[in-house]
Amino acid sequence: MRLILGQILTFHGDPFRDGPASARHERRGAVAIDGATIAATGPADALRAAHPRAEVEDMGDALLLPGFVDAHMHYPQTGIVAAWGARLIDWLNRYTFPEEARFHDPAYARRQADLTLDLALAHGTTSLCSYCTIHPESVDAWFEAGAARGMALWGGKTCMDRNAPESLRDTARSAHDDSAALLARWHGAGRARYVVTPRFTPTSTPAQLEALGALWAANPDCLMQTHLSEQTDEVAWVRDLHPEARDYLDTYERHGLLGERALYGHAIHLTDRERARLAEAGAALVHCPTSNTFIGSGLFDMTLARTITTGLATDTGGGSSFSMLRTMAAAYEVAQLRGEALHPAHLLWLATEGSARALHAADRIGTLAPGTDADLVALDLASTPAIAQRAARAEDVWEAVFPTIMMGDDRAVAGVWVGGTRAQRAFP
């Protein structure tokens, strides 16, 4: 048994539905870890008394949280993060597709997967859900890199059979068969989970969407991830490609790609029907604020989180940061522009249990509940002089943590544990 000591924040409800009071703060708390699992969370004195022989790691005033959960990203785009581009389609053609074409090389794919996961861990992120490329080698590299670090990862082969370079196109048949083989190899192997992954309607023919819908129907415990209504010109393009559809979401629904284990990235420009249908189906949305502002996509409506499960994501490399702290700050700024001030409890929830719920994994990650996997991050709430001087004036935990959310980066990450084992920093 081991005890990690520090300040603790835990949630006993969804702050979007139950209010910020659903969070509880323990000024001097501890997390008890038994092997790879959280055994208990509570006051430090009580847990030390209960486990007098436990190994103790005292993080002082650091705030202990579940490891951050990045619910939507593209590890093959790590090399092109922060690349200048006018709009989404321009950015895809200029940077994304040429870079993704390199992932036919297993060695290159593994190098980029290793780099991505080391960057994530340096920023306190312990679980990620990624799009890979059309190459099965890219999926193998992703899950192999995750297994080497003991991380909980989600991912899938990105399928495209139109409106993409020939080197990045598959077919309806190969998309189905490659995905089925990868699913059989990786889904449930250790902490790996396979995700059925059509990139988005413009790059998949109806035949391919139909094939992937059939694959998902045959494997209903898997997630399905795709993009939805990211930019207005994208929505117009979908309308031109599918005049028969009621809206963008309908292009997925017609082919069996809507359900309670569906993840839709962005979802900025939704119709009233789409909002209602997403809520009815129990699907999840993933907010990607740094990407939405970097590429000029628009402002996500955070009020949707009151009725639709919503996670948070970096969307690297469309997103411009690997940090979930920076992503929380961007979420706050986007909500402000829409006239809503998010509480720090909302932001921390989105980056932990909210994203875990979107991935249907809150029974394992995203919380400090007993019986869950021991993935944790410790945040130094005085990591820079600017943050420290503001935190010193704090009258409660929220005033203490908010400067780190808004101004923090990897310097705030005082420690990361994956499956109960402290992760070694890959970067000085």
Output the DSSP codes for 91-108. HIIIIIHHHHGGGGSHHH
User: For the whole model, what pTM was predicted?
Assistant: 0.97
Cα separations in angstroms, 235 against 102, 212, 268 = 29, 21, 10
Domain with CATH 3.20.20.140 in the chain: 68-358
Per-residue pLDDT reduced to its tens digit, 40-92:
999 999 999 999 999 999 999 999 999 999 999 999 999 999 888 767 778 78
- pLDDT cut 70: percent of the chain above it: 100
- In words, the CATH class of domain 2-66+368-422 is mainly beta
Domain with CATH 2.30.40.10 in the chain: 2-66+368-422
Query: Which of the pair, 91 or 378, is modelled with greater confidence?
Result: 378
Question: What pLDDT was estimated at residue 90?
Answer: 80
Question: What pLDDT was estimated at residue 86?
Answer: 66
Amino acid, res. 327? T
- Using CB atoms within 10 A of its CB, is residue 160 exposed (0-12), middle (13-18) or buried (19+)? buried
Per-residue pLDDT reduced to its tens digit, 269-322:
999 999 999 999 999 999 999 999 998 999 999 999 999 999 999 999 889 999
Is 183 within 8 Å of 132 (Cβ atoms)? no
The C-alpha R_g of the chain, in whole angstroms, comes to 21
Question: What pLDDT was estimated at residue 404?
Answer: 98
Tokens 């005082």 belong to: 414
DSSP-assigned states of every residue in 262-278: EEEEE--S--HHHHHHH
Question: What pLDDT was estimated at residue 377?
Answer: 98
Is 175 within 8 Å of 159 (Cβ atoms)? yes
CATH architecture under which domain 68-358 falls = Alpha-Beta Barrel (3.20)
Per-residue pLDDT reduced to its tens digit, 16-26:
999 999 999 99
Question: What pLDDT was estimated at residue 128?
Answer: 98
pLDDT tier at 258 (50, 70, 90 boundaries)? very high
Asked if residue 428 has pLDDT above 80, the reply is no
Q: Which of 72-86, 336-350, 369-383, 408-422 has the lowest mean pLDDT?
A: 72-86
Question: What pLDDT was estimated at residue 93?
Answer: 83
Cα separations in angstroms, 14 against 27, 31, 353 = 21, 21, 9
Q: What is the dihedral of CA 35, 41, 42, 46, to 10 degrees?
A: -20
